[in-house]
Structure 1
Amino acid sequence: MSHQIILPRVMHIGKGASERVADTVKGLNCRNPLLVTDKVMVELGYSAAIVNILETAGITVDVFSDTVPEPTVASISRGVDAFNTQPYDCIIALGGGSPIDSAKAIAILGKHGGQMKDYKFPRVVDEAGIPIIAIPTTAGTGSEVTRFTIITDEDTTEKMLCVGLGFMPIAALVDYTLTQSLPARVTADTGIDALTHAIEAFVSRKANLYSDAQALSAMALIAPNLRTVFADPSNDAAKESMMLGATLAGIAFSNASVALVHGMSRPIGAAFHVPHGLSNAMLLPAVTAFSIPSAPVRYAQCARAMGIATQGDSDDMANQKLINELKMLNADLQVPTPADFGIDKEAFFALASTMAEQALASGSPNNNPRVPTIEEMVAIYVSLWE
């Protein structure tokens, strides 16, 4: 059985990769880019640096910096309005997952029109949008190499999963030096997001030999370095490993899909405004424990790839070490419980069934080794308070 593998057409990876932006624009035969970013990138001077590189190369660029964390239908609409003011021929997406996800949505709506809900799963959006050059500034989402975007519908609080070739950037410039100004909390949350991508891609029912290779490599890069970059943001070697690991994890899940953690995480983020990586971290130990009985060999391989189990450990021992490690990782990275985050317990429990239904509707739980019922997902949500 063959598997379709989807990647950006152009990738530059390593120190200084972002400085190839002008060459990349010209190589795509584009002349009029729109830079999509956020206020943080403007304040840090990252967007000005990209603008300077482009203008030095004779390329005029406009900047749209009104993207928001966890992008919404309204924020995307503002981006589309900005895009429609000029005949832009490509979009440069600079930032974490939110600006890149925003750029993907703007590229599709800017070319094809309609509303965001018209493009949500189960529709598969394979028609091409405006070309996107993605420059990630976090080692986490892998959005620069994925065919997904997540946009929140404010009216329903649904985090809409949008899937297809149309959302794959045409180029990715992966420069770990852009992660050096991240706050520790963002470093931790995006790092756990990347680790979750790798684990879920490997245990996914849609996993294949290619995605397995990327996922195992990603785990081997991320697991030994996540605590280091959290404690010491000046460690270049650890930062470089995390950035490459996040990109490989993105390639893995883009070609194998995520599973139950992500399915259950999105509704928490939409309803209670929990950052995506953080809600993944809250769920990862409990979902892993729930899922191991249906894929003990696969999860044991994850533990060995992460360096927390040896080849001499039995699968049962490796899996116990995996669960313990995920719990300790949350403790070491100061991941709050839902209660510590400030979520109201009554409100959370009242929405648990709705969140489970939304998770199931996203399709991700069906990729899990152990496909849950609504009742089992509710039980996992409830367990987060124990």
Structure 2
Amino acid sequence: MITRFQSPRLLLIGGGAVARTAEVLAQLGFSRPLIVTDAFMVSSSMVDRVVAPLRAAGIEATIFADTVPDPTDTVIEAGVAVLRAGDYDCLIGFGGGSPMDTAKAMAILAAAPPGTHMREFKVPAQANRGALPVVCVPTTAGTGSEATRFTIITDTERDEKMLIAGLGALPTAAIVDYELTFSVPPRTTADTGIDSLTHALEAFVSKLATEESDEYALRAMRLIAPQLRTVYAEPGNAEARAAMMKGATLAGIAFSNASVALVHGMSRPMGAHFHVAHGLSNAMLLPAVTAFSLNAALPRYAEAARAMGVAGRDEGDQSAAAKLVEELQALNRELAVPSPAGYGIGAAQWEGLVPTMARQALASGSPGNNPRVPDAAEIEALYRAVYA
């Protein structure tokens, strides 16, 4: 049996790693970067953490800071215009998932003829070409985008979050520095933390899982699960921040190779229609979707519970899996994850879009990787179950 496994060419992981950005670029032969980030990273001077070491090495980087949460096709087109107007040899995605996804999508779109729309790369298409290599520097411990072959872009005309996959979206290198996460507020810490846990769990139970992806998924769960509450309550805890950051990257490698499943399939439409942050929408869905899927892959969910430390090594599968669902519910309570209703989404508005969201979830392909593959009616029932 032949297993395909994909990951960045270079990973630099550890506290203070961002100070070595210029060394990474030099090692890869790059010297003319376009930094893709957002306005907050500029106004807060966070972007200086990557600009300063470049400047010290004699590299003057240009900054594109128009990235928005849930990046859109229009922002990608604007970024590509900047890219084509300059003389750049790489992109640096600096920030959370949105700047990194934007940089990856820019590289893909820039490799296509002018006038090409981003939706032409939507799954099941394969986006295997990028105009320039991408180096990612995450500032949150969650999306894992620094290590994946995926990017998520909103089609503004159709109000749809598009999953785009291929080697063109796989970063050439990633610089993973947990010290960049100390200033991340508790709400974002919780949402991105549950996001990374979801990545690891879905990669482990995915129908596309392999022995190799399992190793990364299990290691990620062992790192993330014991530290989620700590990092939420103690933002300055270096040990917790380091574990979460490393775990998020390992989870990214896991789901980049095994793909995600039903939680992500249902999460993307929530983000597109209601602008719920991706990690938060995953958190809203995770307990209910796990309970729905449990009996279709009981040994896998039980093993995940053991890896997370919520069940004993010798505990039976049924008991261990039940404890997993209880733990996910407890995490949502203790990390103050609201329901869609608690988030402020009106019942009529939610109900009116349930059929559309279910259709878009199925069209993404992710539910097909789930241990229990749902039909549209079952997805609609899950949306209604999580609402309140």
TM-score normalised according to structure 1 size: 0.98
| Equivalence for 2:350 | 348
Alignment of 1:181-200 (within 5 A): 181-200=183-202
Letter in 2 for 1:40: F
Kindly report the root-mean-square deviation, in angstroms, between the aligned alpha carbons of the 2 structures.
Answer: 0.9
Q: Which residue of 2 aligns with 1:139?
A: 141
1:138 touches 1:182 (CA, 8 Å); kept in 2?
yes
Match of 1:205 among 204, 207, 212: 207
Q: Which amino acid aligns with 1:330?
A: N
1:123 to 122, 125, 131: 125
Q: Between the two proteins, what is the percent identity of the paired residues?
A: 55
Partner of 2:23: 23
**In structure 2, how many angstroms separate the alpha carbons of the residues matched to 1:20 and 1:206?**
36
| C-alpha separation in 1, matches of 2:179 and 2:75 | 28
Q: 1:118 deviation in Å? A: 1.2
- The answer to whether the 8 Å contact 2:229/2:335 transfers is yes
**Which consecutive unaligned segments of at least 5 residues does structure 1 have?**
none
Report what 1:321 is aligned to.
323
1:38 is aligned with what amino acid? D
1:383 aligned partner, one-letter code: A
2:254 aligned to which of 227, 232, 252:
252
- 1:12 corresponds in structure 2 to 12
Question: In the alignment, residue 35 of structure 2 is paired with which amino acid?
Answer: L
Distance 1:27 1:157 in 2: 41
Q: Secondary structure at the match of 2:183?
A: coil
The 3 A distance-change label for structure 1 pair 251 and 200 is: same
For 1:69-84, list aligned pairs within 5 A: 69-84=69-84
Distance 1:48 1:317 in 2: 49
State the shift of 1:139 in Å: 0.3
Q: Report matched runs for 1:240-279 at 5 Å.
A: 240-279=242-281
Q: Quick check: 312-321 or 325-334, which moved more?
A: 312-321
Q: Which amino acid aligns with 1:131?
A: P
CA contact (8 A) 1:80 1:110 kept: yes
Task: Describe how 1:1-386 pairs up with structure 2 within 5 A.
Answer: 1-113=1-113, 114-386=116-388
**Please, which moves more after superposition, 341-350 or 121-130?**
121-130
Looking at structure 1, the residues matched to 347 and 79 of structure 2 have their Cα atoms a distance apart, in angstroms, of 35
Instruction: Letter of the 1:12 partner, please give it.
Output: L
Say whether the 8 Å CA contact 2:111–2:129 is kept in structure 1.
no
Deviation of the 1:321 alpha carbon: 0.6
List, as ranges, runs of 4+ consecutive aligned residues in structure 1 with deviation greater than 6 Å: none
How many Å apart are 1:344 and its aligned residue? 1.0
Query: Shift of the alpha carbon at 1:352?
Result: 0.7
Q: Whole-Å Cα distance in 1 between the matches of residues 29 and 185 of structure 2?
A: 36
For the residue of structure 2 that corresponds to 1:343, the secondary structure is coil
- DSSP 3-state at the match of 1:92: strand
CA contact (8 A) 1:198 1:219 kept: yes
C-alpha deviations, 1:71-111, integer Å up to 9, x for none? 01111122112212211110011000000000001111123
What is the rounded CA distance, in whole Å, between the counterparts of 2:93 and 2:182 in structure 1? 18
CA separation in 2, counterparts of 1:49 and 1:331?
35
The amino acid of 2:36's aligned partner reads V
Rounded to whole Å, the distance in 2 between the matches of 1:82 and 1:47 is: 19
Letter paired with 1:211: S
1:129–1:167 CA contact under 8 A, matched in 2: no
Q: Is the 8 A contact 2:109 2:130 kept in 1?
A: no
2: distance between equivalents of 1:43 and 1:241? Answer: 28
Return 369-378 or 55-64, whichever deviates more: 55-64
* Cα deviation 1:319-345 (Å, max 9, x = unaligned): 111111100100000001101111011
Contact 2:110 2:130 survives alignment (8 Å): no
Aligned pairs, number: 386
Contact 1:30–1:89 (8 Å) recurs in 2: yes
- Partners of 1:60 and 1:234 lie apart in 2 by 32
